């Protein structure tokens, strides 16, 4: 969405201003989590930035392990070492460990306001799941419009 691209642009601009190398790894599967573990050690050794995108998709076990790894390498990390976690936190997926969040600098971007944005969020939640009959889809559209108008 628009807010996501703004957040990515802001993150990339800040990372570009940082000295050294910036590596981005997408989480959400075992392969990404394994790569992130290796990249974390390398970034700490070099003093570079590591961006772990979509942390809300990582397993809870891996996130708890990340908290411990960050704590253990914090003292030995080279100057300039930074880890940036990106996550979508809508309340239903608040799986990030509390201690990890408490030790972090948190930047939150709220959902875009407006009728159009509310309708786009509703459509994104449903995706292509518009089961027959056609009338059911029409009723959902009307309910989404009514909800968006009342919310605004």
Under the banding of pLDDT at 50, 70 and 90, the label for residue 1 is very low
Q: pTM for the complete prediction?
A: 0.61
Higher pLDDT, 75 or 134: 75
Name the CA dihedral angle for 107, 46, 38, 55, rounded to a multiple of 10 degrees. Answer: 0
Position 9 scores a pLDDT of 60
Average pLDDT over residues 50-55: 89
Nearest to 87 by CA among 65, 70, 104: 104
In which band, very low, low, confident or very high, does the pLDDT at 7 lie, cut at 50, 70 and 90?
low
CA 99 to chain centre: 17
pLDDT at 127 over 60: yes
Identify the pLDDT of residue 2: 47
Read off the pLDDT of each residue in 31-40 and give the average, rounded to a whole number.
89
List pLDDT tens digits, range 102-120: 888 887 776 677 777 777 7
């Amino acid at each position: 969405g628009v807010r996501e691209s703004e957040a990515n642009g802001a993150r990339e601009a800040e990372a570009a201003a940082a000295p050294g190398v910036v590596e981005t790894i997408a989480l959400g599967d075992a392969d990404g989590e394994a790569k992130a573990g290796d990249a974390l050690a390398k970034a700490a050794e070099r003093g570079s930035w590591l961006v772990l995108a979509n942390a809300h998709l990582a397993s809870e076990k891996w996130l708890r392990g990340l908290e411990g790894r960050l704590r253990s390498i914090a003292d030995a990390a080279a100057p300039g070492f930074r880890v940036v976690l990106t996550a979508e936190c809508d309340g239903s997926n608040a799986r990030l460990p509390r201690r990890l969040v408490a030790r972090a600098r948190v930047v939150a971007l709220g959902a875009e306001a407006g009728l159009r944005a509310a309708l786009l969020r509703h459509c994104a939640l449903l995706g292509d799941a518009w089961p027959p009959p056609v009338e059911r889809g029409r009723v959902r559209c009307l309910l989404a419009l009514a909800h968006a108008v009342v919310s605004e």
